[in-house]
Amino acid sequence: MDNNDNDSSSKKNNKFKNSKNNNFKNNNNIDDFNNKLNNKNVNYNKKYFINFIIYFITIYVILIALEKYISQILSFLISIILNTDFSENCIVYGNKIYTIISACTCSLEIALFTGYVLGTPKIDIKYKLLYSLFGIIIINLANIFRIISIITLNNRYNILNYSFIHDTLSFILFPVALILNILWIYILKKKGLIVK
């Protein structure tokens, strides 16, 4: 009987030790899992950043090459909206001539936005292209609104400094692109395409 008690207490101790070892192993497994997850997130972020840089530079170079034509298209569209004359990239409004230069094409904002969207890893290209097209349209509409506002405010309130109006209203493009990027992440999270 004494022997059985020792056997039973030794079995209990072994079970307790095994249980402790299993818990220790489970904790190690959890730590290993967390380390792998952190490494995976770091790799994902690196890939995202590299993709963003590649897409941003590529798109920006293409847009810079097309800025002359984009400014002419903007001049044409704005002249139609304002019901006024234009020539190439110049708009005649009131008694003034406004020139749509390459900086007015919002190439930087479009390149940043599309680089951000197209650079997103593990997302189907059709979603990226659809959202990029949507964002480019929104950014261009905001840009057209900005240019029209600058022209009409400057023409109507001649006392205001043109540079002040231009610089103040030009600020709206970056927040528009930023909001579109935030919306992109929100949509991806809602659809379950990226982890929250």
Active site members:
104, 146
Among candidate residues 122, 154, 133, the one with its CA nearest the CA of residue 51:
122
